[in-house]
Structures are given as C-alpha cells and as structure tokens.
Amino acid sequence: MNIEKLRKYCLSLPHVTEDIKWGNELCFCVGTKMFCLTGLSGNFKISLKVSDEEFSELSVSPGIIPAPYLARYKWISVENDSRFSEKEWEHYIRQSYELVKKKLPEKILETLK
C-alpha cells in the first residue's frame, strides 16, 4: 500500500471526502467522521478503526501499535505498509469505513442516501 493506492481506494467508497488536518495528516471521512488517516511526510503509516475483537490482537502485533490519541476508540496505527497484503488493506479500510459510518447520527446518514 502506498499513498496513491490508499487515496484511490478510500475515494472509491461512497460519500468519502479527504481533508488535511493538523497541518500534515491526510484524513478520509464519511459524513463528518474520519475513518482513515496517514501522514504526508515521514515514514508512511496508516491509522484506522478496527472491531473491538480485533483491537486487542492487532494492537500488539509486530508493526502495529494502538493509534496515539485514538486507541480508546479502537484505532490502530500500522507502521509498515507491507504489514498487510493489498486485499487485507482493503478489508481493514472498508471495515473502518463501515464501523465509522454506522455510528453517524441518523440526520447525517439520511444525507448520504
């Protein structure tokens, strides 16, 4: 996974927008909530939300840490872009998108239909 593949995949999901936050983080959002982010400089790493069940296992796996500031919401930060296959990346990104989307307020969900 690289930044161009990440952008292409994230933007292919319905109603996704991208934004730069905190000066250097490329964030992908559904509705008003982010589901995936990566730094624009330095080592390439991706942070995303995972299921409660996966968080405990993944956050102690090699190359993965609990995401700073977001771990309490079950986010991980993958510090090595080759940690997952392309298919696995797509699974985790899509899962993060779905987990975040289902928590959106009803009013926002209505605008996404």
Q: How far apart are CA 31 and CA 100, in angstroms?
A: 9
* 8-state DSSP, 41: S
> Is the residue at 30 inside a domain?
yes
Residue 58 in any domain: the answer is yes
Q: Tell me: the pLDDT tens digits for 24-61?
A: 999 999 998 999 999 988 788 999 999 999 999 999 99
As a whole number of angstroms, the distance between CA 36 and CA 109 comes to 19
97 is in which domain, residue-wise?
3-107
Q: What is the pLDDT of residues 96-111, one digit of tens each?
A: 999 999 999 999 988 8
- Tally the domains of the chain: 1
pLDDT digit string (tens) for 84-93? 999 999 999 9
Q: How far is residue 110's CA from residue 61's CA, in Å, rounded to a whole number?
A: 38
pLDDT of residue 109: 87
> What's the CATH code of the domain at 97?
3.90.1150.30
C-alpha separations of 101 from 39, 44, 45, 58, 61 in Å: 22, 25, 22, 21, 26
Q: Kindly state whether residue 113 falls inside one of the protein's structural domains.
A: no
Q: Is residue 41, in this structure, part of any structural domain at all?
A: yes
Residue 31, domain member (yes or no): yes
The runs of H, that is alpha helices, within 30-105 are: 52-58, 86-101
- Is 112 inside any structural domain? no
